[in-house]
Structure 1
């Protein structure tokens, strides 16, 4: 009975993933973001070396497309909204969305069979930022870029005034604020890891 329950849960997660992908496609068309569609971001090279150095405890989650930061205990999506995790690889490129869409899409995310993804706070997102430099504090093999050669602006959950929210620009290594009706950014979902809540 437990196996059939797990099978139903996996099927539900697959359905949710398909629905989320369809919703993102509709948003891309609506936003006219000009982002090319169906381009694969090949992650073989990034996974090759890292799988040899990651701890066996983390390997299972890592292969599901998630990474737990040992410093903060936060579990991060290795991919951004718009990309897909297929057979242990990052596929596609991330989608530009406005801040309201960012919150909604995180709640609908089902990566790694977790159902409690959310938009990170500005302090959480800041832990991934290298001040005044492009890139992430995490090894570049741990978190995939939204597109080849781009680090991008990522939304946080922090609204600082009406119509203005904060995020991190990983191309310049700084915290930025943007009008969330006029601007679109990338989204990296986060959740509290099971280990952190013990």
Structure 2
């Protein structure tokens, strides 16, 4: 007798909607929790949930709470009002990195952009850096835009993975104010009842 798993033991392939661009924290969470699935990016939380309810995606992975700032809005409200089934509930560590184009130096940076939730998690650290703060729809989207602009005075706050995706250099790791910064993600599916 062998220990080879049967096809019934293999995880089912699914499309999982998330909010953000490739390299976002939600994308990283999808890859960590369900690496066998296809992670499908959406610009907003509402669009990610609509992809699930329309049947375009089989599940959605949505952040609803952060240990530093509380509820992640509007995601928490959208999830609460959605009537969708919670398939899994997991807390993940969130580590913010400051990144810019190749060759940029920390002393060159004049502005930083990221999602408002990420900026709030780094507020005290950023205050001491005296940078112009620019809100963006997404952490990884901010990294993508900084890369495309090619401006060494602009930086993004995003996951380390976003620097790899968009070819940016990390200027500083662990920008978050709390060393125990964590976000609670819910894996959602359509209710079967």
TM range (shorter): under 0.3
Q: Which has the higher contact order (CA 8 A, sep 6+)?
A: 2
Larger Rg: 2
Question: How does the TM-score come out when normalised to structure 2?
Answer: 0.24
More strand by share: 2
